[in-house]
Structure 1
Amino acid sequence: MLKMICLTAALGLALGSTATAADLTFDGRTARATPAADGGFQLHAPGHDVAIAAQPMRSRTDSVLFDALFALAQQELDADRVDAIRDPAFNQGNPVPCDCFQTGERWPYVWTRDVSFAADLALSRLDPVRTRQSLQFKLSAARDGKTPGLFVAQDTGSGGSWPISSDRVVWFLAARGLLADPAFADQVWQALQATLAQDRAAVFDPRVGLYRGETSFLDWREQTYPDWTRQDVRFIGESFALSTNVLHYQALRLAERLARDRGDDRASQYAGWADALATQIDARFWREDAGLYMSYIGEAAHPVPYAKYDLLAISLGVLADVFPADRARRALANYPAVEGGSPVVWPQEARQPIYHNRAVWPFVSAYSLRAARRLDDAARIQLEIESLMRGTALAGSNMENYEMRRLAVHVDEGALSGPVVNSPRQLWSVAGYLSMVLEGVFGVDADGNVAPKLPTALVPQLFGKRSSIELDDGTTRYVLKRPRKLEGALLVAKNIVRKNNTVTVQLMAQPQTAAAGTGRAEPRSAAPAPAPAPAPASAAAYAPTTPTAPEPVKRGKTWSIPVPANHVLWLDGREVTTASPLTVRDDGHQHCLSLTHRDGALESLHSPTTCVGPQQRLNGATAWAWSAAAPTRVRVRLRYDNPNGPINTGVTAAVKQVVAQCPGQPAQRASVVMPHSVGPQASTAVEFDLPRGRCRFTLEEGFNMSALAHFASYNGGKGGRDGVLNQATVSALLIAPIAATAEAAR
C-alpha cells in the first residue's frame, strides 16, 4: 500500500507541474485546452482538435483543461441523447423510437447494465426523464400474456443469456434515484417482485447462500474466467460472483424499502434475505492471504476460491456496506494500480488480448473513486481523478476503455492487441467523468449533500494561485475555498454556508484521527483486525498458466491423484496439503477435484474440475426412476445438447425444473440450466435429499429470456422473431450420491 501512495503522490506533482495546468503530458503525449470566444473550449488532443461548445454546467478552476473536459463530458452526454435506437440484432437493424440515451457512438442501442451503471453514476440526477425512459425500455412482460409480472431484461449474453448471466438486477441500482415519479415507482415495485422471485427460484443456492451467475460487466468469458470456459459456460452459470451478489443485495434492500412504504408483509422477508446474503458475501469472498475480496468462487459442488479480483465488485461492495470496515479499507488499499490508473481485473492473463484484461475502464474508475471517498482513501481518490482526466484528454473523448499502462485506445501487440473493442463517448464513461467532477472534486452528491474530499496533492493544479474554485450546475453555485495551509493528505469541509443559490465550503485538512477513513460498515465480529496483507507486487503481473485437469487413477477402492510440483490440489472445495500423490477413498459419494499452479505469491485459475465416485446414467429424455437403499443426498445433472445459439450470445439458454417425487414426502423442484453448447455436455446441477425407496424424476417447463416480449423483435438468433424457444435435446439424467454434510454450514 505504501508503494502505491508514494507513486500517486509523485504523479500528482508531475501533473500539477504543467505550469498553467492547460497542458497534460503522459506517456510522451500531450493534450492542451484553450478557451474559445463563445465560452467554450478547444481541446488539442494528440493528432486532432475537438471543439467544445459552452455548456449549462461550468467549473471555474485554474486548470483550463479540467474545465474543458467537464464541458466535453456534457457535450458528449448531449450527443448520446437520441429519439431512436438501433442494433443489427433487433428490428432488422431499423430504428426503434425511444427518447433514450444510446450506449455510445458505436453502440446506438440501450443495454441493461450500461444504462443502469451510467444512471447510478450521474444520469439520474442530470436528466431523470430521459433516464427513466431508457430504463423503462428494458422492462418487459412475458410474451404469452399469461405469466404475471414485469421483468427486467437480461441482455443477450454468455450461453444464451439469463440465468448464466444474472446481473440484470443492476437495473434496480439505477432505479433507486428515480422514485420521485409515483408511476415509475410503481413499475419498480412490480419489477422487483417478479424479477427477485424469478432469480430466487432459478439462481439462488440455499446451501451456499449466494446467487449464481456471471460477473457483472466482465462478460467475455476467457478474459476473466479460465480459458476452458471458452466452449463450455456451464461453470460460469454455476459459480458465484461477488459483483452480481452485491447487486442482488442492493435490489433486496430496495425491495425491503418499497415493501415497507406500501405496508407489504414481505418487507421482513426481503430484509432477512438481504441480511443473510451480506453475511455470506463477506464470509465466502474474502481471501485473507491477499487482503482482497475475490471476483468469484467455484460452484456448489466444488466451491473453491479463485485468485481473480475485480475493481468494480470491490467498489460496489464498499458502497453497499456489505464489508466490515477494516476489510473494506484493506481491500481497496490492496487493489493494485499502475501509473495509468486501476485495471479492472487482477492479475492479468498473459494469453488474452487487451479488453477487460490489462485495461482501465473509466466507469469502473468512477466507482473506485466513489468507494475511495467513502473510505477517505486519499491516494485512490487522486489516482482515479488523474486517470479519468488523462484518458479523456489524450483520446479527445470519453472512451469505453484504455490499455492500462499507456491509457491508449489501441496498442498493437499482434494477436494480443487491444482494446479489442472501443467506442468514443461511451455512455457510462461519460457518466463516470461527470460523477468525478460533481462528486469526486466538488463533493456534491445527488441528494444535495456537499462533502468534498479533495486530495491535497491536486490543489496546485486545480487552484493554482486562486483562493477558490467553483462549480455552477445551472441552479446552484458551489464554491470551495482553499485553506491557508496545505496540510495532510485530504481536504474536507470545515464549514458550509448556504446563501441564496450559493453554497460556500471552507476547506481544511482532514483531522489526523480520521485520516484512515472509517467507512459506514461495521465489523460483524469483535475479533481484532489482522495485520494488512502486503500489497501485490505489480498490477501488471500475469497469473500463472491454468493447469490441466487432475488425472485420478483407480486402484481398488481408492483413487490416486498425482500433484505436479508447485501445484495445489483442491478436494470438495478445500485445499489439500499433502504429498503427491493424494489418495481418495471410495466412500460411496462423489468427490470433485481441481488443480492450481502457484508461482510465489501468485496463483493460477483452477483447472477443469474432475469428479470421482459413483455416478449413474439414466437414459431417457423426460422421466427417470432411481432407488435409494437409505436416505441419501444426491446431485443431479442432465446430459444434453443445446445448439440453439453460439456460446457468446443469444437468449435461448434452456431452463427447466427438475421435479423429484418420492414416497412419503412432497415433490421437490429445482431449476436446471442447459446453456448453448458445442455438442453434448452436462447441465448445471441440482441437489435433493431423497428418502429410502424409489423416486421418480421428471422435467417441467421453465422460463428464459426468449419468453419476454422485449425480445420479440430480436433477429440476431433463435428465440426472437421466430417465437419463444426454451428447448435442449436431453439424452440422460446423471445422478450421484454426495456427502450429507451441509456446505451451507460454513
Structure 2
Amino acid sequence: MNNADIYVSENLGTNAVHFQAHIIAQSMAQHLGDKRAAVYAQRAEQIKKAINRQLWLAKQQYYAQYTYGRHQLMVSPRFEALGEALSILFNITDPAKAKAIIANAPLTTFGTTCIYPQIPNIPPYHNNGIWPFVQAYWNLAAAKAGNEKVLVHGLAAIYRAAGLFLTNYENMVAATGDFLGTEINSDRMLWSMAGNLAMVHRVFMGMQFSPQGISFNPVVPKVFGGNKTLTHFQYRNATLNITVKGYGNKIASVLIDGKPATKAFIAGNIKGHHTVVIQLANNSFDGDGMQLAPNYTTLPNPQPKLEGQQLVWPQIDGAVRYEVFRNGKPHRTTLQPSLTVNVDTPAQYQVIA
C-alpha cells in the first residue's frame, strides 16, 4: 500500500467528519443568509447515505473501517472505534443502528481498541493501542445509545489508566494495558485530559452545548450513583453550580435556582451565579449487551504474484484457507497457496488468509 492507495480509500471516520463539517457549514450559512446552505445540506445527506450504503456490515452490526484497493475498491471489515463513535454522535446512524453498534462492537479487557482486530507485525500505537481520547468519544456514544454495560466498561478504561499511571498518557498497549511499549507516548496529554474531563462534563453532568444554551442529560450508571457537584463552572457570562443526584439516564426533577423547572436547560444569555440541581430517576439502563473479545491479531497478508497462469503466494502459518478477491468482489476460496486465473482478461486480485 502506498500514498495513492490511501488517497483513494474511503474511511469511516474521515467521512463522518466531512459530514459534520457540512452540517456546521449549513448552519453558519443559514445564520448569514447565504444561499449555499442548501448545497452544504445536500452534500451532507449524500455523505450520510454513502456511509450507510457502502460501509454498514449487516452481519457484524457495525460499520467497516474503510473501502480500499487500487482500481476496484473493497470493504475492510475491521472495526474503527473513533469513526463508529462519531457516526453515532453526529446522527449518521439512526437510534437502532446506534444501539446495535455499541452492543456488538468488539471490546477488549483494557478498553476499546482503535481498530479491531489488530494487524500483525505492526508495533503498538494506533494498532494494538487504546487511546483515552478515542475511549472518551466511545463512552459518549455509549451514553447516547443508552448502554450501561458498555459505558461502565469504558469509564473503567479511562479511570484505571489515569489512576494507575497517575497521569493522562496519550495511549497504552491494548494487549497489556500498560503505557510502556507504544511507539510514542506522552504524559499530561491534552486530548487524554480533555477526554477524562468530558466524562464529568458531558456524561455525569450531561452537558450538551448549542448556540441557544446548555441542555443537561446526565447519564450515570448505577455503580457510579450518588451526589455529584460541579462548582464554579464558567459558561459565557454566568457561573454555574451543578448537582446531579442518583443514577440512571432519565430525569425525575430539575431545580434551577431553587425553583422547579420543566426542562434541564440554561439559556446562553444568562448572567451571574446560578444553581442547577437534577434528580435522576434511579433507573437501570443495562438491558443491552456488550461484546468482550480477546485482543485478536489477524494473520499476515499473503503477497501474491503471477507465475504463468497461476496466482501464487507463500504459505501463511496458521491459515486454514485463503479468500481470493477479483476486482474487489469475492472470487474463490482455496486451501492451497495458489489459484489458476485467466490471464487473458485483465483483473485485480487480492488474497486474504
Asked if these proteins are the same fold (TM beyond 0.5), I'd say yes
On the 8 A contact 2:128/2:173 being kept in 1, the answer is: yes
Whichever of the two has the greater Rg, that structure is: 1
Find the counterpart in structure 1 of residue 223 from structure 2: 457
Find the counterpart in structure 2 of residue 379 from structure 1: 149
Find the counterpart in structure 2 of residue 594 from structure 1: 350
For 2:123 and 2:153, locate their aligned partners in 1 and report how far apart those are by CA, in whole Å.
25
On the 8 A contact 1:342/1:384 being kept in 2, the answer is: yes
For 2:124 and 2:56, locate their aligned partners in 1 and report how far apart those are by CA, in whole Å.
27
For 1:537 and 1:396, locate their aligned partners in 2 and report how far apart those are by CA, in whole Å.
26
Say if 1:325 and 1:550 are closer, same or farther in 2 by CA, change over 3 A.
farther
Say whether 1:424 aligns with 2:187: yes
Find the counterpart in structure 1 of residue 32 from structure 2: 262
SS of residue matched to 2:207: coil
- Measured after TM superposition, the shift of residue 552 of structure 1 is 6.0
RMSD value, Cα? 2.5
Find the counterpart in structure 2 of residue 445 from structure 1: 208
Find the counterpart in structure 2 of residue 469 from structure 1: 228
- Measured after TM superposition, the shift of residue 550 of structure 1 is 4.7
From 239, 250, 262, the equivalent of 1:492 is 250
On the 8 A contact 2:322/2:333 being kept in 1, the answer is: no
From 293, 296, 318, the equivalent of 1:538 is 293
Find the counterpart in structure 2 of residue 28 from structure 1: none
Runs of 4+ in 1 over 3 A off after TM superposition: 509-512, 560-565, 577-587
- Measured after TM superposition, the shift of residue 482 of structure 1 is 2.6
For 1:425 and 1:506, locate their aligned partners in 2 and report how far apart those are by CA, in whole Å.
34
Listed one character per residue, the Cα deviations across residues 602-627 of structure 1 (whole Å, up to 9, x for unaligned) are: xxxxxxxxxxxxxxxxxxxxxxxxxx
Listed one character per residue, the Cα deviations across residues 378-427 of structure 1 (whole Å, up to 9, x for unaligned) are: 112111212111111111111111122543220xxxxxxx1121111111
Superposition pairs for residues 542-581 of structure 1, below 5 Å?
Answer: 542-551=297-306, 553-554=308-309, 561=311, 566-577=321-332, 581=339
For 1:359 and 1:316, locate their aligned partners in 2 and report how far apart those are by CA, in whole Å.
19
On the 8 A contact 1:454/1:492 being kept in 2, the answer is: no
Unaligned runs of 5+ in 1: 1-228, 411-417, 484-489, 518-531, 555-559, 598-746
For 1:327 and 1:516, locate their aligned partners in 2 and report how far apart those are by CA, in whole Å.
16
From 5, 10, 17, the equivalent of 1:247 is 17
Say if 1:551 and 1:391 are closer, same or farther in 2 by CA, change over 3 A.
same
What code does the residue aligned with 1:325 have? P
Identity %: 23
For 1:574 and 1:432, locate their aligned partners in 2 and report how far apart those are by CA, in whole Å.
40
On the 8 A contact 2:109/2:292 being kept in 1, the answer is: no
On the 8 A contact 1:550/1:593 being kept in 2, the answer is: no
- Measured after TM superposition, the shift of residue 539 of structure 1 is 4.0
Superposition pairs for residues 488-527 of structure 1, below 5 Å?
Answer: 490-499=248-257, 501-510=274-283
Superposition pairs for residues 72-471 of structure 1, below 5 Å?
Answer: 229=1, 232-299=2-69, 301-410=71-180, 418-446=181-209, 447-459=213-225, 463=226, 468-471=227-230
- Measured after TM superposition, the shift of residue 300 of structure 1 is 6.6
On the 8 A contact 1:312/1:368 being kept in 2, the answer is: yes
Listed one character per residue, the Cα deviations across residues 534-578 of structure 1 (whole Å, up to 9, x for unaligned) are: x86724111111111253634xxxxx5468861111111111146
What code does the residue aligned with 2:220 have? L
On the 8 A contact 2:204/2:244 being kept in 1, the answer is: no
- Please give the TM-score of this superposition, normalised by the length of structure 2: 0.83
On the 8 A contact 1:348/1:357 being kept in 2, the answer is: yes
For 2:201 and 2:333, locate their aligned partners in 1 and report how far apart those are by CA, in whole Å.
55
SS of residue matched to 1:505: strand
Say whether 1:478 aligns with 2:242: yes
Listed one character per residue, the Cα deviations across residues 251-282 of structure 1 (whole Å, up to 9, x for unaligned) are: 11112222222222222222111111111111
For 1:427 and 1:441, locate their aligned partners in 2 and report how far apart those are by CA, in whole Å.
20
For 2:294 and 2:112, locate their aligned partners in 1 and report how far apart those are by CA, in whole Å.
8
For 1:291 and 1:562, locate their aligned partners in 2 and report how far apart those are by CA, in whole Å.
34
For 2:77 and 2:196, locate their aligned partners in 1 and report how far apart those are by CA, in whole Å.
30
Say if 1:339 and 1:562 are closer, same or farther in 2 by CA, change over 3 A.
closer
What code does the residue aligned with 1:591 have? A
- Measured after TM superposition, the shift of residue 313 of structure 1 is 0.8
For 2:146 and 2:54, locate their aligned partners in 1 and report how far apart those are by CA, in whole Å.
26
For 2:9 and 2:249, locate their aligned partners in 1 and report how far apart those are by CA, in whole Å.
42
Say if 1:508 and 1:550 are closer, same or farther in 2 by CA, change over 3 A.
farther
SS of residue matched to 1:449: strand
- Please give the TM-score of this superposition, normalised by the length of structure 1: 0.41
- Measured after TM superposition, the shift of residue 306 of structure 1 is 1.2
Q: How many residues align?
A: 322
- Measured after TM superposition, the shift of residue 361 of structure 1 is 0.6
On the 8 A contact 1:469/1:481 being kept in 2, the answer is: yes
SS of residue matched to 2:324: strand
On the 8 A contact 1:343/1:539 being kept in 2, the answer is: no
Say if 1:511 and 1:423 are closer, same or farther in 2 by CA, change over 3 A.
closer
For 2:18 and 2:78, locate their aligned partners in 1 and report how far apart those are by CA, in whole Å.
21
For 1:319 and 1:406, locate their aligned partners in 2 and report how far apart those are by CA, in whole Å.
29
- Measured after TM superposition, the shift of residue 498 of structure 1 is 0.9
What code does the residue aligned with 1:320 have? F
Find the counterpart in structure 2 of residue 206 from structure 1: none
Say if 1:253 and 1:496 are closer, same or farther in 2 by CA, change over 3 A.
same
Q: Higher relative CO (CA 8 A, sep ≥ 6), structure 1 or 2?
A: 1
- Measured after TM superposition, the shift of residue 236 of structure 1 is 1.3
Listed one character per residue, the Cα deviations across residues 469-505 of structure 1 (whole Å, up to 9, x for unaligned) are: 312144212222237xxxxxx4431121111621111
